[in-house]
Chain A
Amino acid sequence: MRLLHPRYGVLSFRSYLCRCTGYEPILQAATHMDASAWVPLAERYCPAEYLKTFSTLNADEIIVTGTDKKVYAPARLQEALQIKARHPDVRLVSGATDLGVVHNKGRAFLDHVLILNRIEELQRLEHTAQGLWVGSRVSLTDFENFTASLYPEMSRLMRIFASPQIKNQGTLLGNVLNGSPIGDSLPGLMVLNAELHLQSVRGSRVVPLTSFYRGYKTFDLQTDEIATGLVIPPLPADWKLKLYKVSLRKDLDISAVTFAASLRLHQGQILEARIALGGVGPTVVRLSDIEKDLQGQKFTEALFVAAGKKAAAHIKPISDLRASEDYRRKVAENLFHKCFVELNTEMIPSSVEVTP
């Protein structure tokens, strides 16, 4: 008899909503069953001989044509690029964690789609000379696990990003290319100076994430281009990273405001600063004015309180169903203060000056 740890139970049920039980009876049941009887789905449904058959079939391009419907599922990137060049309006489908919902609700009909899931070239997740390469098919879970030691703060944010099931299915690039001003990964990626790699039959190019977003869900992206991956430069040891996601509910919620700061500190001095905010305008933004204000200054509470006030005055958030303009401003302002206090607490013993 092997029992599940209660904490594991809680984490496993993050993705479910229950309106009847208050979760307590479900957790009780989960933590009292014999987990040794459990057979993983992969063992149950994907024995080795199946996988072998799948891998031989995997080399073939698949096209399914129905009445007024067409699905392309290429096995190679080149095929995908050619399809995208011929059919610029085709919908790209990868994790489908967003499109799937819209489709189920009958708000978008996926009649003409290009599925990227079978392209192995897009699965790469590895260190390169330029930094961490995250292929466009890399799942949020794989990214979270891979970055646990590299960017622990990023990995921590990924824990409340979404449920395990969604993170297994959804991709980091999906979050980037969905391009929402409240995309949870974006402020962090922006202060890490991530770069997006785009490819088409015409060739390839690299776009810094900070210049990719041109307006609300409009991008520096041609109709024949497919994003193949993202490069995240390494963060040297003298840099600090802080990421916040503020939402109505802690888990399984879409943010009202997101915040990212990366600071290069040396003996109580801010050598370099990068700050990004999400949910305060049509795109996630880097606050270059405030970055300049912080650079070269002493790392003090007063500096951050002032920076927060300036940021709040500078941004133009809207009121919508998630939060009001006033709340977004106030949170943006306060997160600067919170960022200071938390970093300051982490840096012990501290040589920095704290104003009362």
Chain B
Amino acid sequence: MSVGQNIPHDSSRGHVTGGSVFVDDRPFTQKEVFVLPVGVPAAAGTLKKVDVQAALQAAGVLAAFTAADLHHNCWGTIVQEQPILVQDRIGYYDEPAALLVGTSTEALLRARPLVKFDIEKAAPIFSIDEAIAQNSFIYKAHPFMCGNADEALKKAPHRLSGVFECGGQEHFYMESQACIAYPLEDGQMEIHSSSQHPSETQHVVAEALGLHLHQVVCIVKRMGGGFGGKESQAAPFAAMAALVAQKMRRPARLCLSKDDDMVMTGKRHPFKNFYEVGFDDDGKILALKAQLYADGGAYADLSSSILDRAMFHIDGAYYLPHAHIEGAVCRTNFHSNTAFRGFGGPQGTMTIESIIEDIAYHLKKDAFTVREVNCYGKDQNNVTHYGQHLDHNPLPDLFARIKQDAEYIRRREDIEKFNAQNTGKVRGLSATATKFGIAFTARFLNQGNALVNVHKDGTVQVSTGATEMGQGVNTKIQQIVAHALGLPADDVKVMATSTEKNHNTSPTAASSGSDINGAAALKGALAIQKRIAWLFQNILDGTPMNDTAECPPLDESRLNLEDFEFAHRTVTHKPSGQSFPWVELVKKAYFNRMSLGEYAHFKTEGLGFDKARSLGTPFNYFTNGVAVSEVELDTWTGEYKVLRSDILMDLGRPINPGIDKGQVTGAFIQGMGWVTTEKLSYSKDGRLLTHSPTTYKIPNVQDTPRVFTVAFIENNENHRNVHRSKAVGEPPFLLGISVWTALKDALKYKALSVPQLKSPATPEELLMELARHE
């Protein structure tokens, strides 16, 4: 059967042969125009005037639009406070402030320098420290308190305090923000967008243009990567294209270059976290006090939820008997930071993993033993600092098995020897864990709907709110539906996501795309399955079905669904052994005027979190994993390589283990990039300098671990999710942190005091820390 099998990604052939259509691959239509957003050359101040006259004179330029042309120039997923085009107050350098429209991209690029801005500059805020000093905040979270942290700290035999800092991260999806808006009759608008959230894109476009929601359709065939960067921030660019389409009554194409995308869109939030930790002689944490600061950039975007998730994940995989966690999002003059795989989780978890390394150094212990001592238990010490109980907690097993599989103890001994014998090179080894909470922390988002249509030849089209960004959600839904109806996967197609088929959808985010939409699709498929079984029952019962009589309405008392098996394009009544081809029953159902389509709605049950008390069950379940990484550091230059990484994950019963493995390797390398080479640099006036692959360095194939293994444990206990699977998108991202802690471990061999290491641990960061200990 289809579920649990490694069928190929539904677009893999298309991706390799070039057959897959992305937004900018859509053929040009007559009169179509190109749109180029132009950013302001200042990070803070007031925009007095935009002068487009000279640009309009340039060859190939047809029109220009500014804030005044929008019906409603304000958007925001949580708080509406961000302009689509700069109105007056400038939020960040290169914030879109004007749109140039022309007959070719080259014409627009030539004309762009001719757009002149009259700006009254103001003093910008370029760091978390400056924001704190100037009381510039977007959001302050309700504190998380459990036990009495102050008291426990006082009594603790050992205390450490410090600050952990991590940088932002560019999503670096291969397909930049892209949208084509087609004006339709009667003022309607059809939007083809590279968006993780077609419903929000529809809403922002409608509002910006003064249209009702029923006048706008947003369609997403696929994205060339999203990673969270197209959750909220696809919408304003769609609104820009739609504005041009509305004003000019011509199709409008806005596809950003990588450079423009990088300077205009938000990134992962940098964090600066202050902490005080108390622990005993074994390294067991007795209390943690932490104050988290996130750099939200210029606007609220999703920052408050991201900070919340950082606070939820500051425990990592470790039990905190007493905790007091506070958090705030700073408002600065950078691009508005946004969702990025992990959504604050990595910034929280990395803080505790760094603290664990420091505890180990302080006590002269191996950090692995400190992790074992603190790991959440199975029967005790298994309640989080916000009161959620961990069911079937596999973390102790994961640590125990990776210690064996990765030969941790032997390799530690080898490293001790290597480091004693070598000049110029030092090795480090470290394990970290992920315990990622699955669910949107905003409860209302944990719902989805699906449309399942069976055609007369027995093939099936499925539509859901899930968007395909390469992660394989379409393939998993295809498998779930095929499995339910007993069909080969090829008989099921998952269609482009469209707001006219699935409305009020949630973003494909929070790792929940397959969970929510897969469950909705399953619900729809099962309703059809039941209808077909009922028809079959009536055939068995000899119910007359002819020109004068039809199959009667469902009578539950006459149907035992368990008797029917749907497999191999055949439906079998097990007690009688009678069977019919699926397609024959489908045709018969049609002639009996029975519905062969189903619209299903699904919501995740059992979620509830009391924000005022910071207590409850925000998550449906947790996806868990551990990783061990080994690095070798060149102490002359700070350069390093990852010698080996072993990953062990609990993904429940994967719907498609091959796709899940791809998610794990991809997320790990992306996480590793965040903590190593991916450094964002800005000029003194706040302009992003690292805005292309020339200067912004995501890992390449040579950076991947020389030895790289991925394994899954068997776990059949996750009854809380579709087919007992577990979400995979974000959780393994956090395991990339093991490369950073391994580098920190390597530093310990040269350190005279607790090594201080920020993230990303660039060669420069490492060499300068080594120099401090010379």
Chain A: residues with CB nearer than 8 A to chain B?
Answer: 10, 13-14, 16-25, 27, 101, 105-106, 109, 244, 246-254, 256, 320-324, 326-327, 330-331, 334-335, 337-338, 341
A106 to B58, CA, bound (A): 15
Nearest to A9 among chain B residues (CB) is B701
CB pair A341–B695 under 8 Å, yes or no, is: no
Number of interface residues of B (CB under 8 A): 57
A-B CB contact pairs (8 Å), 12 listed: A14-B701, A19-B174, A20-B225, A22-B666, A24-B662, A24-B665, A106-B112, A248-B677, A248-B679, A249-B677, A251-B703, A330-B771
Query: In the complex where A109-B110, A337-B636 touch, is A249 in contact with B700 (Cβ < 8 A)?
Result: yes
Q: Determine which residue in B106, B225, B694 has the highest number of CB atoms from chain A within 10 A of its CB, and name it.
A: B694
A341 to B662, CA, bound (A): 42
CB pair B665–A19 under 8 Å, yes or no, is: no
Q: Determine the chain B residues whose CB is within 8 A of the CB of A334 once the complex forms.
A: 636-637, 767
User: Do most interface residues of chain A lie in helix, strand or loop, or is the interface mixed?
Assistant: loop
Q: Determine which residue in B636, B637, B701, B708 has the highest number of CB atoms from chain A within 10 A of its CB, and name it.
A: B701
State whether the Cβ of B441 lies closer than 8 Å to any Cβ in chain A. Answer: no
State whether the Cβ of B763 lies closer than 8 Å to any Cβ in chain A. Answer: yes
Q: Determine which residue in A20, A101, A247 has the highest number of CB atoms from chain B within 10 A of its CB, and name it.
A: A20
A334 to B639, CA, bound (A): 12
Of A101, A250, A324, A326, the residue contacting B702 (CB under 8 A) is A250
Q: Determine which residue in A16, A22, A334 has the highest number of CB atoms from chain B within 10 A of its CB, and name it.
A: A22
CB pair A338–B637 under 8 Å, yes or no, is: yes
CB pair A19–B763 under 8 Å, yes or no, is: no
Report A280 CB to chain B, min CB distance, Å: 14
Of B257, B698, B771, the residue contacting A105 (CB under 8 A) is B257
A197 to B61, CA, bound (A): 45
CB pair A246–B639 under 8 Å, yes or no, is: yes
Nearest to B736 among chain A residues (CB) is A22
Of B637, B665, B667, B697, the residue contacting A246 (CB under 8 A) is B637
CB pair B665–A25 under 8 Å, yes or no, is: yes
Q: Determine the chain A residues whose CB is within 8 A of the CB of B710 once the complex forms.
A: 24
Q: Determine the chain A residues whose CB is within 8 A of the CB of B109 once the complex forms.
A: 106
Q: Which residues of B from 663 to 678 have beta carbons under 8 Å from A?
A: 664-670, 677
Query: In the complex where A24-B704, A25-B665, A248-B677 touch, is A19 in contact with B639 (Cβ < 8 A)?
Result: no
Q: Determine the chain B residues whose CB is within 8 A of the CB of A246 once the complex forms.
A: 637, 639, 763
State whether the Cβ of B554 lies closer than 8 Å to any Cβ in chain A. Answer: no
Query: In the complex where A10-B702, A24-B708 touch, is A326 in contact with B768 (Cβ < 8 A)?
Result: yes
Q: Which residues of B from 557 to 597 have beta carbons under 8 Å from A?
A: none
Q: Determine which residue in A10, A249, A253, A322 has the highest number of CB atoms from chain B within 10 A of its CB, and name it.
A: A249
CB pair A22–B677 under 8 Å, yes or no, is: no
A248 to B677, CA, bound (A): 6
A10 to B703, CA, bound (A): 10
A250 to B677, CA, bound (A): 10
CB pair A105–B259 under 8 Å, yes or no, is: yes
Of A101, A327, A341, the residue contacting B424 (CB under 8 A) is A341
Q: Determine the chain B residues whose CB is within 8 A of the CB of A331 once the complex forms.
A: 636-638, 767
A308 to B651, CA, bound (A): 52
Q: Which residues of B from 698 to 721 have beta carbons under 8 Å from A?
A: 698-704, 708, 710
CB pair A17–B703 under 8 Å, yes or no, is: no
Chain B: residues with CB nearer than 8 A to chain A?
Answer: 105-106, 109-110, 112, 171-174, 225, 227, 257, 259, 423-424, 470-471, 634, 636-639, 641, 661-662, 664-670, 677, 679, 681, 689-690, 692-695, 697-704, 708, 710, 762-764, 767-768, 771
Query: In the complex where A327-B764, A338-B637 touch, is A101 in contact with B670 (Cβ < 8 A)?
Result: no
Nearest to A257 among chain B residues (CB) is B637
CB pair B668–A338 under 8 Å, yes or no, is: no
- Beyond contacts A16-B701, A22-B665, A246-B639: 14 other A-B pairs, Cβ-Cβ < 8 A, are A10-B702, A19-B225, A20-B471, A20-B666, A22-B668, A22-B669, A23-B701, A24-B665, A109-B110, A253-B697, A323-B764, A331-B636, A338-B424, A338-B636
Q: Determine the chain A residues whose CB is within 8 A of the CB of B690 once the complex forms.
A: 321
A23 to B702, CA, bound (A): 10
Nearest to A250 among chain B residues (CB) is B702
Q: Determine the chain A residues whose CB is within 8 A of the CB of B641 once the complex forms.
A: 250
Of B174, B634, B695, B703, the residue contacting A322 (CB under 8 A) is B695
Nearest to B732 among chain A residues (CB) is A22
Nearest to A163 among chain B residues (CB) is B700
Q: Determine the chain B residues whose CB is within 8 A of the CB of A16 once the complex forms.
A: 700-701
Nearest to B637 among chain A residues (CB) is A246
Of A19, A101, A105, the residue contacting B173 (CB under 8 A) is A19
Nearest to A308 among chain B residues (CB) is B636
Nearest to B665 among chain A residues (CB) is A22
Of B664, B698, B764, the residue contacting A19 (CB under 8 A) is B698
Which 8 A-B residue pairings sit nearest by Cβ, starting from the closest?
A106-B109, A22-B665, A22-B669, A321-B681, A334-B636, A24-B665, A327-B764, A321-B689
Of A14, A19, A25, the residue contacting B172 (CB under 8 A) is A19
Q: Determine which residue in A250, A253, A254, A320 has the highest number of CB atoms from chain B within 10 A of its CB, and name it.
A: A250
A249 to B637, CA, bound (A): 12
Q: Determine the chain B residues whose CB is within 8 A of the CB of A101 once the complex forms.
A: 694
A253 to B665, CA, bound (A): 23
CB pair A335–B703 under 8 Å, yes or no, is: no
CB pair B764–A251 under 8 Å, yes or no, is: no
